[in-house]
């Protein structure tokens, strides 16, 4: 089976598993390794960014969440962004045709770290989950399903329209820039990306086979610009498009020792 | 050199697993968050 088909199957499976919460006993307290809002009526796991904000609000240290993210990251790095995240999957669908003509730059990669810092500090200062009020993943997987399920049960106000605005803006930008949200804004991607340098599973380049044709960088949806950044950069989502594109088969997934 | 790196990684991984195990009580708090409606997430307000 081709790697892209395996990836698609994994993305579908991750979406289904994330929604197992429609059966009450599957509404667990486990931390989701990707950005999937627990405001979704069917969510089975907790969104780490939402949980961390809530713990900050109640002046508790989110040890369980940080430990869980550490375990996911140490083993698999940022692979969940490429292989499991439903919001990333939406980006894949939106930027399917524009991957090659998207902006070829790594400028502004640090913005997601600023977003992460603002998310945590605003939760501390305002004692509210400010990021969740704007999160486009929450808009898609929580606001819209909730409104469809309970159209008259609750009053939808300004927050709902803010959610719709951020969702539409993100979709428009994702149409123009491949993996826009993951590249520039996702605070969870910022955390997971740090683990790429130490993760046990990673992508490696066989220097002897590599002819430096750079076909791998041409297909990269995250627009990584250097060969040595594949698998190591905080931006790499280990999606494996580069592995597929290499005519010399110089790139491969490996257990890194 | 590589074996040392790998051992350090395993040690770090074990530390994270210990952190999860020692803070396992948080599981129930997170489950409560998941079970109740996050109003700002769904746009009520």
CA B33/CA A58 separation, integer angstroms: 13
Locate the chain A residue with the closest alpha carbon to B5: A257
The answer to whether residue B44 sits within a structural domain is no
**Nearest in space to A135 (alpha carbons), one of B36, B41, B33:** B41
Beta strands in chain A, from DSSP E residues, in sequence order: 201-205, 251-255
> Residue A233: left (phi > 0), alpha (psi -120 to 50), or beta?
beta
CB nearest B12 (choices: A27, A74, A158): A74
The answer to whether residue B15 sits within a structural domain is yes
Q: Which tokens go with A217?
A: 């960088």
CA A196/CA A79 separation, integer angstroms: 9
Q: DSSP for A185-254?
A: I-HHHHHHHHGGGT-SEEEEE-TTT-----HHHHH-TT----GGGTTTSTT-----HHHHH-TT--EEEE
The answer to whether residue B41 sits within a structural domain is no
Å between A204 CA and nearest CA of chain B: 15
Count structural domains, chain B: 1
The answer to whether residue B13 sits within a structural domain is yes
The answer to whether residue B10 sits within a structural domain is yes
The answer to whether residues A158 and A134 touch, using CB atoms and an 8 Å cutoff, is: no
As for the ipTM of the complex, it is: 0.90
CB contacts < 8 Å between A and B, how many? 132
- How many of the other CB atoms lie within 10 Å of CB of A107? 9
Instruction: Report CB contact under 8 Å: B34, A45.
Output: yes
The answer to whether residue B45 sits within a structural domain is no
| pTM tops 0.80 | yes
User: Best residue in A20, A26, A43, A71 to probe B by mutation, most B CBs within 10 Å?
Assistant: A71
Compute the residue count for chain A.
257
The answer to whether residue B42 sits within a structural domain is no
Please report the pLDDT score of residue B4 as a whole number: 67
Residues of B with CB under 8 A from a CB of A: 2-3, 5-6, 9, 12-13, 15-20, 22-24, 26-35, 37-45
Domain that holds residue B7: 2-36
Please report the pLDDT score of residue A256 as a whole number: 78
Per-residue pLDDT of B1-45, as tens digits, reads 456 688 899 999 999 999 999 999 999 999 999 998 877 777 776
Instruction: Report CB contact under 8 Å: B43, A135.
Output: no
Give chain A positions within 8 Å (CB) of B3: 257
Please report the pLDDT score of residue B2 as a whole number: 56
CB nearest B26 (choices: A64, A143, A198): A64
The rounded average pLDDT for each run of 10 residues, N- to C-terminus, in chain A (257 residues) is 92 95 91 92 94 94 96 95 95 73 67 96 94 94 88 76 94 92 95 93 92 91 90 93 93 87
Please report the pLDDT score of residue A147 as a whole number: 86
């Amino acid at each position: 089976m081709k790697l892209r088909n395996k990836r698609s199957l994994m993305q579908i499976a991750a979406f289904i598993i994330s929604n197992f919460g429609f059966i009450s006993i599957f509404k667990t307290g486990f931390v989701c390794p990707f950005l999937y809002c627990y405001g979704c009526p069917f969510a089975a796991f907790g969104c780490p960014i939402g949980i961390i904000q809530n713990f900050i609000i109640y002046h508790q240290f989110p040890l369980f969440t940080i430990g869980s993210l550490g375990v996911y990251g140490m083993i698999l790095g940022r692979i969940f962004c490429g292989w499991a995240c439903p919001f990333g999957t939406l980006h894949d669908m939106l930027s399917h045709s524009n991957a090659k003509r998207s902006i070829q730059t790594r400028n502004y990669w640090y913005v997601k770290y600023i977003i992460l810092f603002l998310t945590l500090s605003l939760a501390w200062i305002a004692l509210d989950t400010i990021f969740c009020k704007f999160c486009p993943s929450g808009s898609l997987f929580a606001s819209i399903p909730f409104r469809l399920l309970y159209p008259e049960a609750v009053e939808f106000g300004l927050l709902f329209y803010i959610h719709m605005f951020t969702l539409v803006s993100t979709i428009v930008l994702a149409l123009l820039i491949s993996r826009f949200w993951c590249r520039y804004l996702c605070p969870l991607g910022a955390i997971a990306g740090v683990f790429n340098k130490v993760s046990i599973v990673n992508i490696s380049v066989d220097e002897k086979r590599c002819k430096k044709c750079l076909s791998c960088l041409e297909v990269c949806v995250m627009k990584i610009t250097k060969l040595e950044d594949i698998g190591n950069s905080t931006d790499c989502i280990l999606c494996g498009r580069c592995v597929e594109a290499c005519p010399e088969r110089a790139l491969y997934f490996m257990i890194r020792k | 050199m590589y074996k040392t790196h790998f051992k350090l990684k395993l040690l770090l991984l074990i530390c994270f697993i210990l952190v999860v195990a020692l803070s396992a009580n948080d599981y129930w708090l997170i489950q409560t968050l998941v079970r109740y409606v996050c109003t700002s997430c769904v746009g009520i307000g």
